[in-house]
Structure 1
Amino acid sequence: MSDISSFWDIERLVADWREGKGDLINGNDLQTAIIISLFTDRVARDDDVIDGDDRRGWWGDLGEEHNIGSRLWLLRRKKLDQSVAQKAEDYVREALQWLITDGVVLSVTVATQIVYPRQLNLVISYQKPGSRDDTDMRFFWVWE
């Protein structure tokens, strides 16, 4: 059975579920896995700078070698510049590494682009096993 299909709602800048004929649509498990990997808050590392004491993360990750989610949440209060764009790429690669390790995809490529003054574009390309073509997912954030 497939998972519930998640998608990135560009207008609202959030992930959501698709509905159809009075029910949630299922399918596109890889897209859903990527959205969960990116937009679930991974616990901050000991060397991450955070505001306050909340290191976030999922309680089920305590003591685990691999954590769910990404550290993109750490960038929310940063000034948008090239170093933030580079950190976003690094955090996305870290969050999606499990897809390569588990053989779900052959490769993941991440690229960011700053659209001054307040937008960060993110393009993720991945290649599924047995496919010659890459599939792209695109996201953007507006800095306040």
Structure 2
Amino acid sequence: MDIAIIWNNEQARGDWSVQNGDLALDNPLRTAIMVSLFSDRVAPETLSSLDQAVGMAAAPDAAGSNHNDRRGWWGDAFAQEPIGSRLWQLQRAIKAGQTSTLREAEAICTEALQWLMDDGVAAAVSVTATWASTKTPTLRFSVTVTEPGSNAAQQFYYAWAWEGLT
């Protein structure tokens, strides 16, 4: 078991859950997926063709700086692979068409979860993204994970809303 993280769509953040005066516990795979998807991964220096196809713009210069704001975690400077996902970059995307941004979101999530297979935590991981039928631009996605030596897959469902998506 691992500490439970409860995701709040309205505040776009996760927080630990407390039950009976103690930290609540949850499936460690769910916690690993949430950290992987909802932590800001450092953006690459150049945009991929898929990034450009959905209308992502390069990171603007930070005020008073000559460097682009590529986010990320400072500890990644000492790691082979950065943690987190680049979902935050979709704030710079244009919702043109029904599928290009969805495919980009799936690719971003798959990139963020690749470590599960690399480290032997999962034998297979797949991500499916859809648009929610609400006024607020909301991306819904499901993550299906099959653990090594298991035929049964676990599914996890998430929603992510952001401002400025047109």
Could you say whether these structures have the same fold, taking a TM-score greater than 0.5 normalized by the shorter chain as the test?
yes
Deviation at 1:63, TM superposition (A): 5.2
For residues 68-113 of structure 1, what are the alpha-carbon distances to aligned partners after superposition, in whole Å with 9 as ceiling and x for unaligned? Answer: 1111110023222422211110110000000001010111011111
Aligned length: 143
Q: TM-score, with normalisation over the residues of structure 2? A: 0.76
Query: 5+ unaligned residues in a row in structure 1: which ranges?
Result: none
User: Partners in 1 of 2:9 and 2:38 — Cα distance?
Assistant: 14
Equivalence for 1:57: 72
Residue 35 of structure 1: SS of its match in structure 2? helix
Equivalence for 2:127: 110
Q: TM-score, with normalisation over the residues of structure 1? A: 0.87
Q: CA RMSD in A?
A: 2.0
Equivalence for 1:40: 39
2:157 counterpart (123, 138, 141)? 138
Is the 8 Å Cα contact of residues 141 and 158 (structure 2) preserved in structure 1? Answer: yes
Q: 1:143 to 1:93 in 2, by over 3 A?
A: same
- % identical aligned pairs: 41
Equivalence for 2:109: 92
Query: 5+ unaligned residues in a row in structure 2: which ranges?
Result: 48-57, 62-67
2:87 counterpart (72, 76, 91)? 72
User: Partners in 1 of 2:22 and 2:117 — Cα distance?
Assistant: 32
Which stretch of structure 1 is more off in the superposition, 77-86 or 98-107? 77-86
Is the 8 Å Cα contact of residues 70 and 91 (structure 1) preserved in structure 2? Answer: yes
User: Partners in 2 of 1:69 and 1:137 — Cα distance?
Assistant: 17
User: Partners in 1 of 2:111 and 2:15 — Cα distance?
Assistant: 23
Deviation at 1:17, TM superposition (A): 1.7
Is the 8 Å Cα contact of residues 9 and 161 (structure 2) preserved in structure 1? Answer: no
Deviation at 1:142, TM superposition (A): 3.2
Equivalence for 2:54: none
Return the structure number with greater relative CO, CA threshold 8 A, min gap 6: 2
Is the 8 Å Cα contact of residues 87 and 109 (structure 2) preserved in structure 1? Answer: yes
Residue 76 of structure 1: SS of its match in structure 2? helix
> Which of structures 1 and 2 has the bigger CA Rg?
2
User: Partners in 2 of 1:128 and 1:26 — Cα distance?
Assistant: 20
Q: 1:46 to 1:13 in 2, by over 3 A?
A: closer
User: Partners in 2 of 1:139 and 1:111 — Cα distance?
Assistant: 10
